[in-house]
Amino acid sequence: MNAIEVQDLRKTYRNGVEALRGVSFAVEEGEIFGLLGPNGAGKSTAVRILCTLSAPTSGRARVAGVDVLEDPDEVRRRIGYVAQESSVDIQATGRENLALQGHLQDLSGPGLRGRVDELLERFDLADAADRMVETYSGGMKRRLDVAMGLIHRPRLLFLDEPTTGLDPESRAVMWREVRDLAQEGGVSVLLTTHYLEEADRLSRHLAIVDQGRIVARGTPDQLKSELHGDRITVELAEGADVERAARCLADLPGGSEIVTEERTLHVQVTNGARAVPAVVAALEDAGVRIAQVALARPSLDDVYLRATGHSFETADAAGEGEG
What does DSSP assign to residue 132?
A: B
The tens digit of pLDDT for each residue in 196-237 reads 999 999 999 999 999 999 999 999 999 998 887 888 999 999
Q: Is the distance from CB of 307 to CB of 37 less than 8 angstroms?
A: no
Compute the C-alpha angle 210/215/217, nearest 5°: 120
Local confidence band at 41 (pLDDT 50, 70, 90 cut-offs):
very high
Mean pLDDT value across residues 81-98: 96
Range in 164-178, 248-262, 264-278 with the lowest mean pLDDT = 248-262
Rounded-to-integer distance, Cα 228 and Cα 83, Å: 37
Strands 66-67 and 58-63 come out as antiparallel
Model pTM?
Answer: 0.84
Kind plus residue range of the DSSP H or E element containing 317:
helix 312-318
- Which has the higher per-residue pLDDT, 84 or 57? 57
Q: What integer pLDDT is reported at residue 254 of this predicted model?
A: 63
Q: What are the b/e assignments for 297-320, b being 16+ CB within 10 Å?
A: ebbbbbbbbbebebbbebbbeebe
Beta bridge partners of 158: 81, 190
Local confidence band at 253 (pLDDT 50, 70, 90 cut-offs):
confident
Local confidence band at 315 (pLDDT 50, 70, 90 cut-offs):
confident
Ordered structural domains, the chain, with CATH: 4-221 (3.40.50.300), 228-297 (3.30.70.980)
